[in-house]
């Protein structure tokens, strides 16, 4: 991939991820957030967190299924945008929705499972954002870093459950997100098991070959 394509791709992702925020700003400016602006802003930010998080989780499957390598270069950017959106989503909840009513918010976090799950999703994304730099990868070592970043699966699952649990009867959107997450994780699981099988076959083949060699040695005149 040329440097130019890489830059173009990044610009597209930046624009795509910033557009919902700019639109929200524009609607706030023109007093077009509807009858319940706080709820509208919270929901919009939550929706986009999930969409961008799922997009970041779609990059590896794109490589697995289509053999493309460029999606991997966008993974960090998408992940960081998902983190930015969830931070905004959380801040709106604290500032606009409950206006720093800490006891009330704490009560909701421990008592309402959907809020607990939302908090878990946010907490599991935080170390990933903190260790997203190349320097941190080097410091942690690729192996530890990769292990740590598997937390994103927990975050994705918690985020989807958070939405499933809070949505009222009849709302179907969360099921689509849950379906998308299952497909994305399913592709990974399929890839892992395929590689595991290949490794095992290779190991069996290798041991068979060495056994034959030994046999040959033993029975050679």
Partner 1 sequence: MLIRRAPRFTAREITDPELYLSRRELMAGAAALALMPGAGEAAAPKSEPLAAKHNPAFSLSEPATKIDHATTYNNFYEFGVNKDDPSRLAHTLKPRPWSVQVDGHVHKPKTFDVDELIKLFPLEERVYSLRCVEAWSMVIPWIGFPLASLLKRVEPTRQAKFVEFTALLDPNQFPAQKPGFFGFSSLDWPYVEGLRLDEALHPLTLLAVGMYGQVLPNQNGAPVRVVIPWKYGFKSAKSIVRIRLVAEQPKTAWEKAAPQEYGFYSNVNPAVSHPRWSQADERRIGEFRRRPTLPFNGYADQVASLYSGMDLKKFY
Candidates 172, 216, 217, 221; binder of partner 1 (CB under 8 A) is: 172
How far, in Å, are 75, 83, 184, 190 from residue 62 at the CA level?
11, 21, 9, 13
Q: What are φ and ψ of residue 36, in 5° steps?
A: -125, 75
Quick count: other Cβ atoms within 10 Å of Cβ 41? Answer: 21
What's the angle, vertex CA 137, arms to CA 135 and CA 52, rounded to 5? Answer: 105
Q: Which among 106-114, 139-147, 150-158, 182-190 is the span making contact with partner 1, rule CB under 8 A?
A: 106-114
Site for partner 1 in 119-158 (CB under 8 A): none
Region from 49-57, 58-66, 118-126, 169-177 binding partner 1, contact rule CB under 8 A: 169-177
User: Based on CB atoms, which residue is closest to partner 1, 151 or 178?
Assistant: 178
CB of 171 to partner 1, least distance (A): 5
Closer CB to partner 1, 114 or 153, in the complex? 114
CB of 34 to partner 1, least distance (A): 6
Q: Specify the residue, 35 or 142, whose C-beta has the smaller distance to partner 1.
A: 35
The residue to which tokens 């490589």 are assigned: 63
Beta carbon of residue 179, minimum distance to partner 1 (angstroms, whole number): 11
Three-state SS for 211? helix
Q: Shortest CA distance to 81 belongs to which of 109, 108, 51, 110?
A: 51
- Whether 1 and 70 have beta carbons less than 8 Å apart is answered as yes
Residue from 33, 39, 137, 191 touching partner 1 (CB under 8 A): that is 39
Q: Pick between residue 170 and residue 221 the one whose CB is nearest to partner 1.
A: 170
179 near partner 1, rule: CB under 8 A: no
Query: Given candidates 108, 126, 148, 153, which one binds partner 1 under the rule CB under 8 A?
Result: 108
DSSP H or E stretch at residue 73: none
**Cβ atoms 124, 158 nearer than 8 A:** yes
Residues 6+ away with beta carbon under 8 Å from 158: 117, 118, 120, 121, 124
For partner 1, the closer CB: 30 or 172:
172
Residues of this chain that interact with partner 1 (CB under 8 A) are 34-36, 38-39, 96-99, 104, 107-108, 112-114, 165-166, 168-172
């Amino acid at each position: 991939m040329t440097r130019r394509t890489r830059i173009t791709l990044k610009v597209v992702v930046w624009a795509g991820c910033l557009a919902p925020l700019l639109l929200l700003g524009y609607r706030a400016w023109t007093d077009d957030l509807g009858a319940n602006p706080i709820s509208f802003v919270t929901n919009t930010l939550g929706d986009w967190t999930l969409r961008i998080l799922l997009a970041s989780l779609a990059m590896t499957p794109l490589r697995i299924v289509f053999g493309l390598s460029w999606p991997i270069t966008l993974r960090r950017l998408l992940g960081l945008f998902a983190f930015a959106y969830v931070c905004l989503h959380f801040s709106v909840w604290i500032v606009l929705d409950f206006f720093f009513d800490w006891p009330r918010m704490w009560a909701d976090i421990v008592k309402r499972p959907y809020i607990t799950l939302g908090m878990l999703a946010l907490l599991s994304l935080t170390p990933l954002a903190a260790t997203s730099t190349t320097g941190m990868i080097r410091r942690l070592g690729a192996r530890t870093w990769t292990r740590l970043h598997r937390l994103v699966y927990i975050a994705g699952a918690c985020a989807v459950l958070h939405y499933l649990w809070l949505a009222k009867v009849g709302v179907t959107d969360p099921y689509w997100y849950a379906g998308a997450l299952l497909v994305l994780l399913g592709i990974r699981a399929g890839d892992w098991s395929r590689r595991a099988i290949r490794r095992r076959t290779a190991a069996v083949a290798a041991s068979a070959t060495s056994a034959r060699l030994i046999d040959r040695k033993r029975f050679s005149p």
